[in-house]
C-alpha cells in the first residue's frame, strides 16, 4: 500500500519509481498519481490506471470512490491537480472532451448522451462530418453511418430522428459513434444500465469485436457479475484511491466487494453480498389487486395481487411495461382505460397522484433525480412534501411538528446530512433515496410501490435500503418492488410476477424463485404463449 502521509509530489515520485516496470511499457494508457479536488475536498488521491491495448479493463468501486472523476480527468472534462497521463507513450493532458476524442479517447456516458431530435447520421457524424467545400457531404455521411451500424448487425434508417428508436438502439448508436471515431480507448460508463439481457449480449459481442481489433475498453459497472463475462483486468477504487489491480481470473466476486468496501472477505461473507434477512412473517390479506390492466402502451394485460406484509417483485425486460404498470396504478398516464384496480377490496380509479396518495399509496419512481428529489429544497422540505396536506392546518405548516417528524425519520433511517436544512442535492445518492423513502413512510401508506429502489446506489446504502424494505414489509406494509436486478428480486421479494410484452405471464415463489428461473421466464416468448 501507498503511504498516504506523503506529500503528493513525493507520492508521485515514489509511485513512478515503483511502477516504471517493464510490463507497463506497452500500455496504451498509463495514468499515475492523479490528484483532483473540488473546493478543498479530495475526489482523487494518487489514483492510478494502466490499460493495455485490446484489453477490457473494468473500474469498480462504491459511489464516491472516484470512478467518474477519474474518467472525466481522462477524457478532458476535468483538469487534474497533479499526476501524469501517458497515452500511447506520450504525456498528454486534454482540455476538453473534444480534444480527447480527437486524440482517440471516446466516452459513452451512463445515460444516452445523443441528440434525440437529430437523425442517426447526424448523431454518428456530429463534429467530424464529411465535408465538400466546407459543406456537409450528406451522401457520404449517410453511407458512413450505415456501414458503421452494419458492423453491429444493425440495419436502420439513418435519416430518421434518433428519438424514434428505443433506448437500447440509441445506446448502440452511441457506441457506433465512438467506434466511428477510430477510438483507441472507448470509455463505457454503466453501458448496460438501460439494456435488457439480450441487448446486453449484443453489446458484449460488439465489445469483443472492438477488442479483437485492438481497441482498449474502459468499463465501469455496478453489475459485478457481468464483469466476469467480459472483462480482462480489474482496477478497484475506494475513497479516491486505487486500492487493487488484478486480472479477473485472480478475483472472485467476494474479493471485489471486499475491496470496494475495504473490509475483509470474512466480514462480507457473514453479511452476504446482497442478502436480505429471512422472510418470516406470514403473508396477510390482499391489499392491492390488479386485474387485466391494459391500455397505456405497452401494458396490455397485467394481473396480480399484493398482500399485506409481502414484497411482491415485478420482473421483466426493459420495455416490458414494468414501470408503466406502476405508473398506471398510481394515477399517472391517464389514458389508462382497461382493467380494474382494487385497494383493500374496493375498486379504485385514480386520476392523479393525489388521489392515490389519499388512498394511502406511495410511489418511489425509478429516476430519483428527475422524478424524486427537489434539489433546491432542504432535506426537511423534501421529506414532508407528500405529508403536507395532512400536516397543514388551515393551509399553514406547523413548524415544530414538522421538525419533530423529520428528525424522527432521519434518525430511524440513518440519513446522513449536516442538518435537516441541508439542500438534498448535496446528499449522496443513497441518502437521497432514504429521504424519498421517508417521504412516503411518513404518510403511513398501506402500499408502497418502489421502482428500482437501489439503482445507482453504492453497495453499503443499497443493503441498508434493502433491509429497510424487508423491515417495512415485516411490519405489515404491502410492497410492490420493481427491479432489473434479478438477484435483488430473488433475495428481497416473497413472490415475483414476470411481465413480458405488457402481459403478466408467470409467477415465481418459494423454491422456484431463482435467478435462472426469472431469466428464463422473462426472455422466452414461446413459453408464455402456450
Partner 1 sequence: MTDTTITFGNSPKPLMFKVRNILTRNGTLSAFFLLILVNLAITPNFLEIQTLYVNLTQVATIAIVAIGMTLVIASGGIDLSVGALMALAGTVAPLIMLSDFGMSNPSIGLMVAIPVALLAASAGGLFNGVLVSRYNIQPIIATLVLFISGRGIAQVLTNGELQSFDIPAFEFLGTGRLLGIPFQAVITVVLALVCAWTLRRSIFGRYLLAVGGNEKAAQLAGVPVKKVKLVTYTVCGLLAGIAGLITTAINAASDANQTGQLMELDAIAAAVVGGALLTGGKAPVIGAVLGAAIIQLMGYTLLANGVHDAVAMVAKAFIIIVAVYLQQMRGGSK
Partner 2 sequence: MNSPSSTRTNLFQLLSRCSAHLRSEGVWIALVLMIMFGGLRYDSFLTEYNIMTFLSYNSMFILIALGMTFVIMSGGIDLSVGSVVALSSVVVAAVSPYGIEVALPVGVLVGVATGAINAFVITRLKVVPFIATLAMMLGARGMALVISDNQSVPVSWDSNFTHFGLGKAFDYLPWPVVTTLIVFIGCWVLLEKFPFGRHLLSIGGSEESSRLMGLQVERTLWGVYVLSGALAGLAGVMLASGFGAGQPLEGMGWELSAIASVVVGGTLLTGGLGSISATLAGAILLGLIFNILNFENGSGTITFSAYWQSVIRGGFLLVVVIIQAKIINKARAR
The residue ranges that bind partner 1 (CB under 8 A) are 38-41, 43, 64, 330, 332, 352-354, 356-357, 363, 365, 370-377, 381, 385-386, 388-389, 392, 395-397, 399, 418, 425-428, 439
Separation CA 247–CA 22 (nearest Å): 17
CA torsion, ordered 172, 178, 180, 182, to nearest 10 deg? -150
Residue 122 makes contact with partner 2 by CB under 8 A: yes
With CB under 5 to 8 Å by kind, the binding choice for 335 among partner 1, partner 2, none is partner 2
Q: Which of 335, 399, 411, 511 binds partner 2 (CB under 8 A)?
A: 335
With CB under 5 to 8 Å by kind, the binding choice for 213 among partner 1, partner 2, none is none
With CB under 5 to 8 Å by kind, the binding choice for 43 among partner 1, partner 2, none is partner 1
With CB under 5 to 8 Å by kind, the binding choice for 463 among partner 2, partner 1, none is none
Residue 102 makes contact with partner 2 by CB under 8 A: yes
Separation CA 186–CA 200 (nearest Å): 17
Residue 79 makes contact with partner 2 by CB under 8 A: no
Q: How far is the CB of 439 from partner 1 (least distance, A)?
A: 7
Q: Which of 4, 118, 337, 369 binds partner 2 (CB under 8 A)?
A: 118
Q: What's the distance, Cα to Cα, between the start and end of the chain in Å?
A: 59
54 vs 64, which CB is nearer to partner 1?
64
Residue 177 makes contact with partner 2 by CB under 8 A: yes
- Quote the strand ranges of 295-377, DSSP E: 302-307, 310-316, 338-343, 346-348, 361-364
With CB under 5 to 8 Å by kind, the binding choice for 397 among partner 1, partner 2, none is partner 1
For 418, residues 6+ apart whose C-beta sits below 8 A from its C-beta are none
With CB under 5 to 8 Å by kind, the binding choice for 489 among partner 1, partner 2, none is none
**In what order do the strands lie in the sheet containing 346-348?**
302-307, 286-294, 338-343, 346-348
Q: How far is the CB of 384 from partner 1 (least distance, A)?
A: 8
With CB under 5 to 8 Å by kind, the binding choice for 38 among partner 2, partner 1, none is partner 1
Stretch that binds partner 2, among 105-113, 261-269, 282-290, 309-317 (CB under 8 A): 105-113
Decide the pairing of beta strands 233-238 and 56-60: parallel
Q: How far is the CB of 116 from partner 2 (least distance, A)?
A: 6
Separation CA 456–CA 144 (nearest Å): 35
When computed from its CA atoms, the radius of gyration of the chain, rounded to whole angstroms, is: 25
Separation CA 278–CA 297 (nearest Å): 37
With CB under 5 to 8 Å by kind, the binding choice for 371 among partner 1, partner 2, none is partner 1
Alpha carbon separation from 248 to 51, 213, 502 (Å, rounded): 14, 21, 38
Helices (H), 344-458: 353-358, 379-383, 388-391, 399-413, 429-441
DSSP category for residue 483: -
C-alpha cell of residue 352: 392523479
CA torsion, ordered 173, 225, 254, 187, to nearest 10 deg? -10
Separation CA 337–CA 520 (nearest Å): 31
H or E segment to which residue 129 belongs: none
With CB under 5 to 8 Å by kind, the binding choice for 444 among partner 1, partner 2, none is none
9 vs 115, which CB is nearer to partner 2?
115
Pattern of binders to partner 2 over 273-312, x per CB under 8 A? ------------------------x--x------------
Phi and psi at residue 162, to the nearest 5°? -60, -35
Number of residues assigned to the chain: 530
How many C-beta atoms surround the C-beta of residue 410 within 10 A? 21
With CB under 5 to 8 Å by kind, the binding choice for 115 among partner 2, partner 1, none is partner 2
Q: Which of 39, 134, 345, 395 binds partner 2 (CB under 8 A)?
A: 134
With CB under 5 to 8 Å by kind, the binding choice for 386 among partner 2, partner 1, none is partner 1
Residue 371 makes contact with partner 2 by CB under 8 A: no
Q: Which of 95, 116, 414, 460 binds partner 2 (CB under 8 A)?
A: 116
CA torsion, ordered 192, 465, 458, 496, to nearest 10 deg? -20
40 vs 133, which CB is nearer to partner 2?
133
Question: How large is the angle between the packed helices 515-523 and 197-212, nearest 10 degrees?
Answer: 90
Pattern of binders to partner 2 over 386-415, x per CB under 8 A? ------------------------------
C-alpha cell of residue 88: 500511447
23 vs 418, which CB is nearer to partner 1?
418
State the number of binding residues for partner 2 (CB under 8 A).
28
Binding-site ranges for partner 2 (CB under 8 A): 77, 96-98, 100-102, 107, 109, 113-118, 122, 126-127, 129, 131, 134-136, 177, 297, 300, 333, 335
Amino acid at each position: 500500500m501507498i503511504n498516504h502521509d506523503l506529500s503528493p509530489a513525493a507520492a508521485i515520485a515514489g509511485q513512478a519509481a515503483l511502477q516504471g516496470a517493464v510490463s507497463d511499457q506497452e500500455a496504451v494508457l498509463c495514468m499515475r498519481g492523479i490528484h483532483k479536488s473540488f473546493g478543498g475536498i479530495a475526489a482523487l488521491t494518487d489514483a492510478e490506471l494502466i490499460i493495455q491495448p485490446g484489453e477490457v479493463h473494468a473500474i469498480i468501486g462504491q459511489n464516491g470512490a472516484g470512478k467518474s472523476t477519474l474518467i472525466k480527468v481522462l477524457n478532458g472534462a476535468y483538469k487534474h491537480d497533479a499526476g501524469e497521463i501517458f497515452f500511447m507513450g506520450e504525456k498528454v493532458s486534454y482540455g476538453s472532451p473534444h480534444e480527447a476524442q480527437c486524440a482517440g479517447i471516446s466516452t459513452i456516458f451512463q445515460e444516452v448522451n445523443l441528440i434525440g431530435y437529430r437523425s442517426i447520421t447526424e448523431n454518428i457524424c456530429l463534429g467530424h462530418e464529411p465535408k465538400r467545400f466546407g459543406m456537409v457531404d450528406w451522401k457520404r455521411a449517410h453511407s458512413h453511418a450505415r456501414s458503421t451500424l452494419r458492423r453491429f448487425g444493425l440495419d436502420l434508417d439513418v435519416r430518421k430522428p434518433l428519438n424514434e428508436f428505443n433506448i437500447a438502439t440509441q445506446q448502440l448508436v452511441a457506441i457506433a459513434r465512438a467506434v466511428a471515431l477510430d477510438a483507441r480507448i472507448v470509455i463505457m460508463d454503466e453501458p448496460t444500465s438501460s439494456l435488457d439481457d439480450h441487448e446486453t449480449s449484443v453489446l458484449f459481442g460488439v465489445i469483443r469485436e472492438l477488442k479483437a481489433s485492438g481497441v482498449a475498453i474502459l468499463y465501469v459497472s455496478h453489475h459485478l457479475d457481468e464483469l466476469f463475462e467480459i472483462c480482462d483486468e480489474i482496477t478497484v477504487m475506494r475513497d479516491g484511491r486505487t486500492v487493487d489491480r488484478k486480472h479477473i481470473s485472480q478475483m472472485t466476486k467476494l474479493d471485489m466487494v471486499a475491496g470496494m468496501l475495504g473490509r475483509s472477505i470474512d466480514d462480507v461473507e457473514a453479511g452476504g453480498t446482497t442478502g436480505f434477512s429471512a422472510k418470516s412473517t406470514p403473508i396477510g390479506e390482499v391489499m392491492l389487486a390488479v386485474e387485466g390492466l391494459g391500455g397505456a402502451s405497452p401494458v396490455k394485460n397485467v394481473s396480480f395481487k399484493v398482500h399485506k406484509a409481502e414484497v411482491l417483485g415485478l420482473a421483466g425486460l426493459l420495455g416490458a411495461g414494468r414501470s408503466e404498470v406502476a405508473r398506471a396504478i398510481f394515477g399517472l398516464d391517464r389514458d389508462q382505460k382497461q382493467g380494474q384496480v382494487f385497494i383493500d377490496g374496493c375498486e379504485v380509479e385514480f386520476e392523479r397522484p393525489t388521489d392515490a396518495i389519499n388512498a394511502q399509496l406511495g410511489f418511489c419512481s425509478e429516476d430519483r433525480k428527475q422524478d424524486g428529489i427537489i434539489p433546491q429544497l432542504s432535506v426537511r422540505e423534501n421529506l414532508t412534501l407528500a405529508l403536507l396536506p395532512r400536516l397543514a392546518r388551515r393551509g399553514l405548516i406547523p413548524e415544530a411538528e414538522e421538525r419533530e417528524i423529520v428528525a424522527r425519520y432521519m434518525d430511524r433511517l440513518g440519513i446522513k446530512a449536516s442538518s435537516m436544512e441541508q439542500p438534498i442535492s448535496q446528499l449522496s445518492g443513497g441518502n437521497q433515496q432514504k429521504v424519498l423513502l421517508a417521504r412516503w413512510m411518513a404518510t403511513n401508506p398501506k402500499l408502497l410501490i418502489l421502482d428500482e429502489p437501489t439503482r445507482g446506489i453504492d453497495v453499503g446504502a443499497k443493503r441498508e435500503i434493502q433491509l429497510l424494505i424487508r423491515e417495512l414489509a415485516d411490519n405489515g406494509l404491502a410492497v410492490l418492488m420493481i427491479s432489473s436486478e434479478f438477484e435483488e428480486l430473488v433475495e428481497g421479494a416473497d413472490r415475483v410476477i414476470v411481465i413480458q410484452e405488457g402481459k403478466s405471464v408467470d409467477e415465481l415463489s418459494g423454491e422456484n424463485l431463482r435467478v435462472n428461473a426469472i431469466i428464463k421466464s422473462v426472455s422466452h416468448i414461446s413459453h408464455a404463449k402456450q
